[in-house]
Amino acid sequence: MPQGRIVKALAGYYYVQDGDTLWQCRARGVFRKKGITPLVGDEVTFETNGTEGTVTEVSARTSELVRPPIANIDQAILVFSLAEPVFNPQLLDKFLVHTEAAGVDAVICLTKADLLAEPEEVERILKRCKAIGYPVIVTSSKGKHGIEDIRAYLTGHLSVFAGQSGVGKSSLLNALFSELQLETAPISQKLGRGKHTTRHVELIHLPEGGWVADTPGFSSLDFQSIEANELALYFKEMRALLGECKFRGCLHVNEPGCSVRAAVEAGEIQSARYKHYLDFLQEIKDRKPRY
Ligand SMILES: Nc1nc2c(ncn2[C@@H]2O[C@H](COP(=O)(O)OP(=O)(O)O)[C@@H](O)[C@H]2O)c(=O)[nH]1
Ligand SMILES: [Mg+2]
Ligand SMILES: [Zn+2]
């Protein structure tokens, strides 16, 4: 039976790419019974009558993200604008926790560099991001800046562009691939954020090899599947210190002999990152139980 990859899911249909052919497929009812939802990125087996198809099997996934919903990515490009909307370091740290939890590599992409008049401001944000230990790329789709740097990261990978709406994800993909004409929208001056122009997750096959997904933006991201005692594992610079706290089960808040707090005090961990750790820990403790 033919096999392919789901590149788009829309209105109950899955679009499966097999070589140069795109098959419009339904999913078998058995998936619903088993609680499996096929995702964009899934490798699937399907049957076809020559025009339409039916997805009959979903292969085991190497990774899975809930927001945006996508399977088998090995890399997330976290897209954050330097301005319009203003750079949001807390949201960046939240995304980083989620990609770490999913076991996916992250690349930070700072967009709209042309809008920041002060080079010192860009330097400050860039330095902060680099110090966490992730690759950082500064881009401008308008000024065609940093586009080739992004391309180098995409080749051969299955990547997702993730970030708030209006930060310039679709514009960046259009700048990367001139034959693409993804819809983009000006951000609302009143709300200071983007409109949701990209309404679904869609995988694009790269001419150089690999795949990249454009995704809709979203305004919130929660920690439903992350427990308080694992949160520090998803802060890269804290993970290395975790065996060194005096108490097992240390949550790094005010326990004596805490190696994380010692590193914050010594300036080895950025205090802003630690503050976000405490914010997220509180958010996890305050969350309503799920039934
Ligand atoms: N000045 C400037 N504006 C940009 C840049 N990239 C995107 N924009 C604008 O930001 C708005 C949102 O872009 P879009 O690509 O739709 O964002 P998305 O929601 O993340 O896909 C549009 O008005 C774009 O023209 C850039 O590099 N510089
Ligand atoms: Mg978009
Ligand atoms: Zn500790």
SS3 276: helix
Sequence-separated (6 or more) residues with CB below 8 Å from residue 262? none
Residue 80 shares a structural domain with residue 46: no
Name the strand (E) or helix (H) holding 107: strand 105-111
**Paired residues of 14 in beta bridges:** 9, 25
Please tell me if the CB atom of residue 185 comes closer than 6 angstroms to any atom of ligand 1: yes
Residue 85 shares a structural domain with residue 155: yes
Residue 84 shares a structural domain with residue 102: yes
Residue 254 shares a structural domain with residue 167: no
Q: What is the DSSP string of 180-237?
A: ------PPBTTTTB------S-EEEE-TTS-EEEE----S----TT--GGGGGGGSHH
Please tell me if the CB atom of residue 217 comes closer than 6 angstroms to any atom of ligand 1: yes
Sequence-separated (6 or more) residues with CB below 8 Å from residue 157? 74, 75, 210, 211, 212
Count the domains in the chain: 3
Query: 287 alpha carbon to ligand 3 midpoint, in Å?
Result: 22
d(CA 119, CA 174): 26
Domain membership flag for residue 43: yes
Q: pLDDT truncated to tens, each residue of the chain (291 aa)?
A: 899 999 999 988 999 999 889 999 999 887 878 888 899 999 999 999 989 999 999 999 999 988 788 999 999 999 999 999 999 999 999 999 999 999 999 999 999 999 987 888 889 989 989 999 999 999 999 999 999 999 999 999 999 999 998 999 999 999 998 877 777 766 655 555 555 566 788 899 898 899 999 888 766 678 888 999 999 999 999 999 999 999 999 999 999 999 999 999 999 999 999 999 999 999 999 987 766
Assign residue 266 the CATH number of its domain.
1.10.40.50
Residue 152 shares a structural domain with residue 190: yes
- Tokens for 72, please give them: 């088998």
Residue 119 shares a structural domain with residue 90: yes
Residue 48 shares a structural domain with residue 140: no
- Tokens for 212, please give them: 């990249």
What letter represents residue 257's amino acid? Answer: G
Query: 245 alpha carbon to ligand 3 midpoint, in Å?
Result: 5
Residue ending a domain, choose from 29, 58, 87? 58
Domain membership flag for residue 220: no
Q: How many CB atoms lie within 10 A of CB 191?
A: 10
For residue 9, the enclosing domain spans 3-58
Assign residue 93 the CATH number of its domain.
3.40.50.300
SS3 102: helix
Query: 149 alpha carbon to ligand 1 midpoint, in Å?
Result: 18
Counting from 1 in the atom list of ligand 1, the atom nearest the Cα of 167 is: 20
Going by the DSSP 8-state scheme, the letter that residue 125 receives in this structure is H
Residue ending a domain, choose from 168, 192, 214? 214
Residue ending a domain, choose from 15, 39, 58? 58
